[in-house]
Structure 1
């Protein structure tokens, strides 16, 4: 393994699946401006749209996830360019 190319600032971070509110803690170097308290400890928070607990491959369920109405926002934003 080469020396000096891997980050050294690993810390515990909370990843939250926004589609089902599942939270899991793991080490990461990802930056975050938000924090969350989980089981009595405060962690930096990284929000995700999908994770192993909501992905159709792992759950066996197929469903459309449109968080925060992104499709509608996109259509409203660009409908003025429609010919």
Structure 2
């Protein structure tokens, strides 16, 4: 690295509005956050799905019993092979046209 062109790397504290603090290193001495993983509804499990027109319920009803894809191929089942059919098909007779 070149000297005297990089900012100073120092101890940093990230402070959330909920009071949580995370200590790490950065170029600024302090950061103030509005929301963090300790208070965000997604991470705390308090997030609810907003359902307009019953879309979530329709989706759950449609795919609730569907098999989950695991990425594996299904097991092979033993099938009885049909008897070999002749390759030559019988010819159809042409109907004669009436004479005029």
**Shorter-chain TM-score range:** 0.3 to 0.5
Structure 2 length-normalised TM: 0.37
Larger fraction in strand: 1
Structure (1 or 2) with the larger CA radius of gyration: 2
Where relative contact order (Cα < 8 A, 6+ residues apart) is larger, the structure is 1
